């Protein structure tokens, strides 16, 4: 009996609108969680599936300088499998064609874990091997075949050596996630390095030892090895593996989840407002049912069934739409990443369902409990129960739910508390500001018959509701402005800041004997060099004899020394010059004097990061040798100029004993490309870095991120629209009463329509103005702190924000009440009754 009545009431309430808004809000929350969680989970599973083979061993030891052979000897004596790898980038030539490739020289035992996937020809079948190439044989990735127009069996030149292509390299377990050469990879036998003559004193080379064996043996070996390791050497296992791509994916995942959380919060606000309004509309039916003998238990069953039906259908709808969206997003990412992403596990499904249920229950349970307490006497005294409409308990429960959602998404209590408090402060400030401004509506002294005056009076009357709408749309518009500026404005500004004739190619790995003839070649063919700089790799080791924190191994459970000074965390390119580069400006101190004492000039930002002062003693670790230099000056460097720049420059006397390679930068015009290519043919061991290609690659990545942000933006705007719709829906009865009164007092329909339109227009414009102000300040900080460029304001978004906000809010809000205004006074009175 009660079920039949519940279904009739449910179908009737669907036509009123509140349940539809609640259902849409739950569905949006579910599809947001499911879509974003599924995409990030599938990326994580892809990485996890390959984690055991990711480093091609159980442990590895890395260094930018040659490693001691005794390390391998000891490991072999302990029964461990070993292999050695040497990485370098060099130019590859085939006839008239050439390109920059990443070369991995491997011993025969490589890989210790995982398999290398090969093909005998471009159209051949794939197969796997568990050993490296034989001497004289090279394995080449597929992209090189197309770039150089070669086939298996052809000869290519690596540096000074010639090699026959033996196999097509499809995949390797520890393939580089990023290198100067992109996806152009070559594997050669370790014995063939000497034939290339690429590795010279001071060359950019990376060395790695691989180890595999039983876990106790590995730990015992590390205990022997650790005291002998240099500070510029690292020991890693699976838990230690880090990469720029992995870090960026993690940051992107966190950003998308946090941004998605904003959409969920907006959906939750819409849900709470609609649930409250829905329950208020049921006060009279509940009182009537109690008067006719309906028990509290029956009424509870009816409305809990309503909530259950809405929750169930909304979750199913959200999961269905989310499944389609996550497939589209994951397939796009998989294509961009050049991989196949596995299907997501049960976590996104369970989390989405859990979020949907939590939102439905936590934001609707208090209004429902109030509904069950409505007294039967309300059928005679219509004001009974109205005191339940405003509930601090409901507000507290909703706030607590939002905090729990933050905690669930971030899995970090400290971060959740900080984020929650900061959001709360922003909300309170915006709410107070809106009340202050909206509260002036009646003191403007406008004409009583004026549409603007009526609109302002209405805004002042609904100050609390309008403040909620202001906060919601200010946040949504803020995200939109971020997307527009970051995608279209900041990147183009950065590109336009490049001076005319800025270098677009860097030449590295130049031998000292090649400097003079290359300078002559540049002068002969009109190529302008920006100076030839000697370069060595070095690590910032200590400051005033206080060592910087050493990298630790998470695999072995080591903990970082929290009291140690924070260092750079990587090796730097170091150079030595008698005179300061023209593109640098001295900000403090003096340039080098003529003494033989080692001296160093430090870039201003690096000096601030390391808390340096003039006169400090800086210890650098170069080729396992320590150099103690006195800090004599700080410099300001224009990194955006793309000129050769350095964080640290030493005086020549400090670096006389170190062999080095040279590098330079030049601007190659289109008509000079042939001459430039001939230069590289004459000097095969010299590598070139194409800056133009790097800019295009960065733009491609930004475009992909923009798509992800655009997806989140669409969700946030939809959720923000739901907030507006729910707020307008909740005030419809009050608006109908006002329309009846205004018409009774003789107000024309045109006056009422214009006042309503102006009300929403002003609300949207103010929300857009607040969003523009917050966005521009935030973008100013991001430009300086993240992009490391001079911050600039963007006045055009101060116009774009209010206009877009005003138009959007006016269209959505006015369309919601237009139907009401079209009804005659008699129809409105019947609806109110």
Residues 286 and 388: their CA atoms lie apart, in Å, by 14
Q: Are residues 47 and 66 in the same domain?
A: no
Q: Are residues 32 and 73 in the same domain?
A: no
Does 682 reside within a domain? no
Rg of the chain over CA atoms, in angstroms?
34
Does 640 reside within a domain? yes
Q: Are residues 99 and 183 in the same domain?
A: yes
Does 276 reside within a domain? yes
- What is the reported pLDDT for 578? 85
**3-class DSSP state of 714:** helix
Residues 351 and 825: their CA atoms lie apart, in Å, by 49
Q: Are residues 702 and 795 in the same domain?
A: yes
Q: Are residues 25 and 170 in the same domain?
A: no
Percent above pLDDT 70 for the chain: 66
Does 452 reside within a domain? yes
The two structure tokens encoding residue 764: 């949207």
pLDDT-based confidence at residue 138 (cuts at 50, 70, 90):
very high
- What is the reported pLDDT for 43? 63
pLDDT at 594 over 70: yes
Tell me the backbone φ, ψ of residue 316, rounded to 5 degrees. -60, -45
Does 422 reside within a domain? no
Q: Are residues 233 and 337 in the same domain?
A: no
Indicate yes or no: pTM above 0.85: no
pLDDT-based confidence at residue 182 (cuts at 50, 70, 90):
very low
Does 504 reside within a domain? no
> Cis omega (within 30 of 0) on the bond before 111?
yes
544: left (phi over 0), alpha (psi -120 to 50) or beta: left
Residues 263 and 261: their CA atoms lie apart, in Å, by 5
Q: Are residues 104 and 224 in the same domain?
A: yes
Q: Are residues 543 and 480 in the same domain?
A: no
Q: Are residues 650 and 713 in the same domain?
A: no
Residue at a domain's end among 206, 240, 274: 240
Q: What is the CATH number of the domain that holds 654?
A: 2.40.40
| Average pLDDT in the chain | 75
Q: Are residues 115 and 20 in the same domain?
A: no
- Domain extent for 744: 444-499+692-833
Q: Are residues 388 and 250 in the same domain?
A: yes
- What is the reported pLDDT for 402? 76
DSSP 487: I
Does 105 reside within a domain? yes
Q: Are residues 220 and 74 in the same domain?
A: yes
Does 346 reside within a domain? yes
Tell me the backbone φ, ψ of residue 100, rounded to 5 degrees. -90, 130
38-42, 628-632, 694-698, 765-769: which has the minimum mean pLDDT? 694-698
The per-residue DSSP string of 349-366 comes to HHHHHHHHHHHHHHTTHH
**3-class DSSP state of 460:** helix
Total count of domains within the chain? 4
Residue at a domain's end among 240, 275, 303: 240
Predicted confidence (pLDDT) per residue in 609-654, tens digit = 888 899 899 888 887 788 899 999 999 987 766 778 888 999 888 8
């Amino acid at each position: 009996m009660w079920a039949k009545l519940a279904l009739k009431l449910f179908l009737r309430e669907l036509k009123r609108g509140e349940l539809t808004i609640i259902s849409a809000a739950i569905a949006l929350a579910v599809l947001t969680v499911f879509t974003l969680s599924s995409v990030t989970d599938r990326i994580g599973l892809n990485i996890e599936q390959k984690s055991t083979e990711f480093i091609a061993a159980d442990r590895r030891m890395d260094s930018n300088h040659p490693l001691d052979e005794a390390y391998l000897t000891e490991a072999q004596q302990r029964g461990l499998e070993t292999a050695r790898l040497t990485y370098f980038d060099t130019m590859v030539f085939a006839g008239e064609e050439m390109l920059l490739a990443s070369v991995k020289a491997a011993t025969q035992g490589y890989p210790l874990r995982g398999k290398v996937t090969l093909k005998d020809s471009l159209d051949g079948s794939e197969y796997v091997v568990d050993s490296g190439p034989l001497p004289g044989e090279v394995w080449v990735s597929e992209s090189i075949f197309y770039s150089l127009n070669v086939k298996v069996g052809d000869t290519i030149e690596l540096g000074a050596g010639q090699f026959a292509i033996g196999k097509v390299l499809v995949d390797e377990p520890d393939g580089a996630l990023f290198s100067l050469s992109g996806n152009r990879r070559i594997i050669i036998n370790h014995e063939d390095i000497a034939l290339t003559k690429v590795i010279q004193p001071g060359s950019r080379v990376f060395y790695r030892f691989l180890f595999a064996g039983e876990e106790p043996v590995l730990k015992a070996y590390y205990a022997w090895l650790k005291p002998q390791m240099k500070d510029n050497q690292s020991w890693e296992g699976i838990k230690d593996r880090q990469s720029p791509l992995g870090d960026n994916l993690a940051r992107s995942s966190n950003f998308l989840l946090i941004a998605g959380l904003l959409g969920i919060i907006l959906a939750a606000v819409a849900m709470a407002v609609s649930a409250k309004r829905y329950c208020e509309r049921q006060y009279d039916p509940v009182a009537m049912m109690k008067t006719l003998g309906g028990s509290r238990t029956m009424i509870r069953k009816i409305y809990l069934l309503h909530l259950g039906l809405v929750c169930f259908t909304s979750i199913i709808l959200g999961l269905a739409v989310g499944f389609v969206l996550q497939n589209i997003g994951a397939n796009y990412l998989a294509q961009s990443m050049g991989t196949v992403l596995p299907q997501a596990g049960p976590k996104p499904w369970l989390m989405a369902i859990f979020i949907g249920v939590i939102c439905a229950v936590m934001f609707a349970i208090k209004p429902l409990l109030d509904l069950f307490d409505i007294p039967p006497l309300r059928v005679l005294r219509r004001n009974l129960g109205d005191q339940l409409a405003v509930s601090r308990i409901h507000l507290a429960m909703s706030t607590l739910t939002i905090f729990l959602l933050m905690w669930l998404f971030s899995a970090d209590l400290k971060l959740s508390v900080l984020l929650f408090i900061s959001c709360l402060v922003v909300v309170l400030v915006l709410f107070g500001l809106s009340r202050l401004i909206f509260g002036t509506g009646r003191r403007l002294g406008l004409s009583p018959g004026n549409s603007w005056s009526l609109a302002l009076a209405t805004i002042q009357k609904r100050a609390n509701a309008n403040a909620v709408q202001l906060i919601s749309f200010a946040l949504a518009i803020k995200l939109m402005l971020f997307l527009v500026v970051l995608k279209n404005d900041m990147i183009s500004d950065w590109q336009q800041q490049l001076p005319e004739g800025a270098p677009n190619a860097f030449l590295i790995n130049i031998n000292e004997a090649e400097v003079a003839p290359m300078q002559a070649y540049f002068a002969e063919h009109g190529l302008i060099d920006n100076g030839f700089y000697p370069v060595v790799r070095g690590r910032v080791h200590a400051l005033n004899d206080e060592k910087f924190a050493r990298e630790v191994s998470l695999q072995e459970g080591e903990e970082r020394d929290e009291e140690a000074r924070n260092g750079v965390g990587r090796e730097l390119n170091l150079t030595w010059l008698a005179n300061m580069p023209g593109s640098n400006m001295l900000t403090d101190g003096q340039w080098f004097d003529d003494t033989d004492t080692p001296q160093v000039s430090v870039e201003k930002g690096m000096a601030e990061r390391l808390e340096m002062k003039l006169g400090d003693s800086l210890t650098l670790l170069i080729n396992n040798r320590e150099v103690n230099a006195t800090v004599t000056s700080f410099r300001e460097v224009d990194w955006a100029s793309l000129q050769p720049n350095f964080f640290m420059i030493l005086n020549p006397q400090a670096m006389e004993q170190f062999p080095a390679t040279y590098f330079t930068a030049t601007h190659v015009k289109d008509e000079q490309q042939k001459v430039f290519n001939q230069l590289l043919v004459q000097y095969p061991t010299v590598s070139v870095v194409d800056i133009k290609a790097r800019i295009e690659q960065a733009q491609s990545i930004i475009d992909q991120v923009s798509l992800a942000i655009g997806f989140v933006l669409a969700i946030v705007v939809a959720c923000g629209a739901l907030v507006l719709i729910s707020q307008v829906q909740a005030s419809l009865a009050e608006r109908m009463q006002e329309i009846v009164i205004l018409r009774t007092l003789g107000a024309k329909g045109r006056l009422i329509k214009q006042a309503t339109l102006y009300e929403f227009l002003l609300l949207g414009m103010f929300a857009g103005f607040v969003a523009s102000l917050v966005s521009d300040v935030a973008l100013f900080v991001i430009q300086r702190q993240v992009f490391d460029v001079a911050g600039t304001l963007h006045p055009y978004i101060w116009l774009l924000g209010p206009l877009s906000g005003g138009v959007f809010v006016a269209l959505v809000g006015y369309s919601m009440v237009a139907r009401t205004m079209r009804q005659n006074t008699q129809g409105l009175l019947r609806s109110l009754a």
